[in-house]
Amino acid sequence: MTLADTIKNFRLDKLRFKSKDAVGVDLGSTSIKIVQLKGGGGRWKLHRCAHLPLPNAGPDVGIPERRAQAVGLLKEYLRKQKGAISKDAAVSVSGNSVIVRFVKFPKMSRDDLSKMIKIEAEPYIPFSIPEVNLDFHILGDVVEEGQKKMETILVAAKKEIINARLDVVQQGGFSPVLIDVDAFALENVYDVCVGAAARETALIVHMGAFVTTMVIMENGVPKVVRDVFIAGNTVTKALQRNFQCDGKQAEAMKVRAQILVTPEDRERAMADANKETLQMSTVILPVMKDLLAEVQRSLDFFLSQGSDRQVGRVLLSGGASRLGNLANYLAQELRLPVEVLDPFQRIEGAQSIAPDVRPLFSVAVGLALRREGDAA
């Protein structure tokens, strides 16, 4: 099948698999995360897991070079596996080329909506319909002003970004069998980590290098999905400007950095004469305040939809979520419990994966959880 044929036949979410053990491949801007799981029905075992950093992933590296590096890493990884891992891959997209909308359509059958989706979706999608791939998922029936309607998640992704994802994966030696959205991969992880018995309403904040994805889960269903462009690279750029250093030096500083949340934190840094820590915190805090404003905006929107709504906790995920003291900072500002999401929490055989690395794999694990028979 050619790349053009693949794109033509792809929808976005939960395609029917050729293989029940597809590999989750998270093509990040600074690294690739690969996960393959065995099992199903609530019991999962880790089969393969890899974190492949791009050799040159500084904030000023262009997209074509990043893609070329990713292709090389995938080829080399498969060569070393010598057939021990499936080549069927599930990948995902995010960012400003992906639109997720919660829409109430007139009540109709799924088949009828499939036939009419391009017309029904047009008012909600800020792109030309021929430029995007569309998918939808019906959440359930509702009555609004006496009219029967159905609450639906509508997803649109530009064919250009889908093309690019498929191109990298195929050139790297994998066969893409599913394209998902980062937010829905995170939904999968939440379902597995928390389980059906403890589905309190939670906000997932997944911080990548260039994009932070926010998902509010209520009763196991995503109710708010947003991508914002305040993420790890925003912190790196701020450090780079302030300390007048290159991207690699700024990345190294970010690993050492901590947000000084309390007066006690600042007093300790001053007592230790740790000027770098004080200065880095001063540089990072404005970025975190901008991110906090976006998080609060997501929460406010969710809470405005019903008087009895509340959010029980915040779950941090993604590589940039490892920023020192970020959880404490958000907990203090939001006045909510904040935890780091462990995507391997209920997966057997993952004991060797270090705790500080686990948040990087959330999307890859969510993709690897997809199974044959998943329905849109």
**Where along the chain do its domains lie?**
1-95+160-195+346-376, 196-340
SS3 assignment for 281-296: HHHHHHHHHHHHHHHH
Q: Please report which confidence band the pLDDT of residue 215 belongs to, taking 50, 70 and 90 as the band edges.
A: very high
Q: What is the mean pLDDT of residues 170-186?
A: 94
Q: What is the pLDDT of residue 8?
A: 38
Residue 373 to residue 350: CA distance in whole angstroms: 26
Q: Burial, 230: exposed, middle or buried (Cβ in 10 Å; 0-12, 13-18, 19+)?
A: buried
- Dig out the tokens for 359 from the structure: 């948040």
Residue 59's pLDDT band (cuts 50, 70, 90): confident
State the Cα–Cα distance between residues 137 and 160, nearest whole angstrom: 22
Handedness of CA 167, 172, 178, 183 (dihedral sign): negative
- 1-95+160-195+346-376 and 196-340 agree in CATH topology: yes
Burial class (CB in 10 A: 0-12, 13-18, 19+), 172: buried
Digit-coded pLDDT (tens) for 264-310: 888 888 877 778 889 999 999 999 999 999 999 999 999 998 778 89
- In angstroms, the CA 357 to CA 342 distance is 9
- What is the overall mean pLDDT for the chain? 89
Q: Residue 20: its pLDDT value, please?
A: 62
Range in 80-89, 192-201, 234-243 with the lowest mean pLDDT: 192-201
Can you give the pLDDT at residue 48? 95
Query: How far is residue 58's CA from residue 61's CA, in Å, rounded to a whole number?
Result: 6
Backbone angles phi, psi at 2, to 5 degrees: -75, 165
Percent of the chain whose pLDDT exceeds 70: 91
**pLDDT classification of 196: cutoffs 50, 70, 90:** low
Task: Classify domain 1-95+160-195+346-376 at the CATH superfamily level.
Answer: ATPase, nucleotide binding domain (3.30.420.40)
Query: Contact 364/92 with Cβ under 8 angstroms?
Result: no
- pLDDT category at 39 given cuts 50, 70, 90 is confident
Q: How many CB atoms lie within 10 A of CB 275?
A: 10
Task: Produce one character per residue of 336-369: b if its CB has 16 or more CB atoms within 10 Å, e if not.
Answer: bebeebbbbeebeebeebeeeebbbbbbbbbbbb
pLDDT digits (tens, 9 = 90+) for 324-368: 999 999 999 999 999 999 999 999 999 999 999 999 999 999 999
Gap between the Cα atoms of 25 and 45, Å rounded? 17
Residue 1 reports pLDDT greater than 60? no
91-114 confidence digits (pLDDT tens): 999 999 999 999 999 999 999 999
Region 11-27 average pLDDT: 65
List 150's β-bridge partners, or say none: 105, 141
Report pLDDT for 5. Answer: 40
Contact call for residues 23 and 35 (beta carbons, < 8 A): yes
Interval 37-51 mean pLDDT: 91
The superfamily in CATH containing domain 196-340 is: ATPase, nucleotide binding domain (3.30.420.40)
